[in-house]
Amino acid sequence: MTTYVVIFSLQQRSLVFAKSFTLNIPIFDAQNSRLKNYISNLRNIATFAVILLHVAAPFVLQFNKISFASWQLANLLDSMLRFGVPVFVMISGAVLLDRSEPLSTFLSKRLKRVLLPFLFWSIVYFVFVYAGSFQKLSMLQLLQTLFNKLLKGTYYHLWYVYMILGIYLFVPIIRKWAQNSTKQELQYFLFLWAVTLLINTNVAKYLPSVEVLYFSRYLGYFILGYYLDKHVSTSRPKNNLYLMCFVFGAALTFLSTSYLSVKQNHLNITYYNYLSPNVCLLSIGIFLSGKSLLHNSSKLSINLDKHSYGIYLVHVLVLHYVYRFTAYLTFDKNSPLWLLMYIISISIITYLVSYALIWVLALPKKLRPLIT
């Protein structure tokens, strides 16, 4: 079961789930066909969804502290936006498993693309957190602290980078298997992976003690993305089916969280787990809906997608200062309508400022590899 860590910011307003929402997905090549535009469009939607989720999360944590109607609104938003991480991993699978390139080329491209911005922003967040301690610590102590933090992450949202790097190291091996597997063989893997998702639910106690964890965790989403992109054809007549998958998955997440939290009289986020059947189902619905509908692109959408990694890396820092500059604003958080307006407004501001900041910082070509 995923462990959630509550982070208390300096402003005490940015309570967030630590292991929840990220994105670190390779940029899709511009020369690919128009059909592949859905990859970029899906990523842009998910990027904003991640920020929206981060803003809504503190209010989910206020179970029994705000009105039940407002808490249910936050719960509904959180449940609907659970697709963020799974869809990003699925996108990576759809993009990377369909390529053929030498091992050295893949590793050099991926590591450079992911590690340079990751290290740069890790140091930025380290300075952000420990700036007040610089005069109290020696240079050696600071370097030791930085090294220790880099082993796990200098800030909570960077957990995804460590996870996706682990999958990247496995890509050169799993890619050959995926490309040479039949549709039935891929379905066999995905079926066993789906069984592992039940381990994170109340159904786990009814499962036999057969070791299936070799098929588990985020690698399944990676293979699923490749399978849906390669072997599942979409069409507009099927759009209602994709929507039903999303609605049913989101509803199961929402109702289960609400029921368990009320029954136990404390917040229960078991069904928020990315590695659960309900989240998998709503993520499939989003992915296939995007594949079916999101074929058009624009210069703006392409540019947003180009900077999506940088937007994710910086958005938590931006959100902190958005909270600071809007601290004087007061609203009735017990009113669902006011709460919804607040969450949407803060999310839009954070997204736009994050994009603008990354766009400006990436203007110098020599700095660009470090920024996004």
pLDDT tens by residue, 213-248: 778 899 999 999 999 999 999 988 899 999 999 999
202 vs 349, higher pLDDT: 349
CA neighbor of 222 nearest in space, from 168, 154, 141, 147: 168
d(CA 35, CA 70) in angstroms, rounded, equals 40
H-helix or E-strand spanning residue 102 = none
**Would you place residue 319 in the very low, low, confident or very high pLDDT band (cuts 50, 70, 90)?**
very high
d(CA 113, CA 165) in angstroms, rounded, equals 11
Region 162-184: what's the mean pLDDT? 93
H-helix or E-strand spanning residue 22 = none
Half-sphere exposure in the Cβ direction for 315 (13 Å, CA) = 30
Asked whether the beta carbons of 350 and 51 are under 8 A apart, the reply is yes
- pLDDT at 9 exceeding the cut of 60: no
**Which pLDDT value is given to residue 110?**
85
> Residue 185 CB: number of other CB atoms within 10 A?
12
d(CA 162, CA 29) in angstroms, rounded, equals 23
Scanning 61-181, the segments in alpha helix (DSSP H) are 68-80, 84-96, 103-130, 139-152, 159-180
d(CA 203, CA 218) in angstroms, rounded, equals 20
Percent of the chain scored above 90 by pLDDT?
Answer: 69
148 Cβ contact partners less than 8 Å away, ≥ 6 residues apart: none
- pLDDT at 32 exceeding the cut of 50: no
Residue 169: what residue type? Answer: L
d(CA 304, CA 283) in angstroms, rounded, equals 22
**DSSP codes joined into one string, 273-334:** -TTSHHHHHHHHHHHHHHHHH-----HHHHHHHHTHHHHHHHHHHHHHHHHHHTTT----TT
DSSP 8-state class, residue 364 = S
Asked whether the beta carbons of 307 and 355 are under 8 A apart, the reply is yes
Tell me the C-alpha to C-alpha distance, in Å, between residue 216 and each of 108, 176, 198, 219: 27, 19, 11, 7
CA neighbor of 276 nearest in space, from 329, 217, 336: 217
pTM of the model: 0.86
- pLDDT at 76 exceeding the cut of 50: yes
**Which pLDDT value is given to residue 17?**
44
- pLDDT at 83 exceeding the cut of 70: yes
**DSSP codes joined into one string, 164-208:** HHHHHHHHHHHHHHHHHS-HHHHHHHHHHHHHHHGGGSGGGGGS-
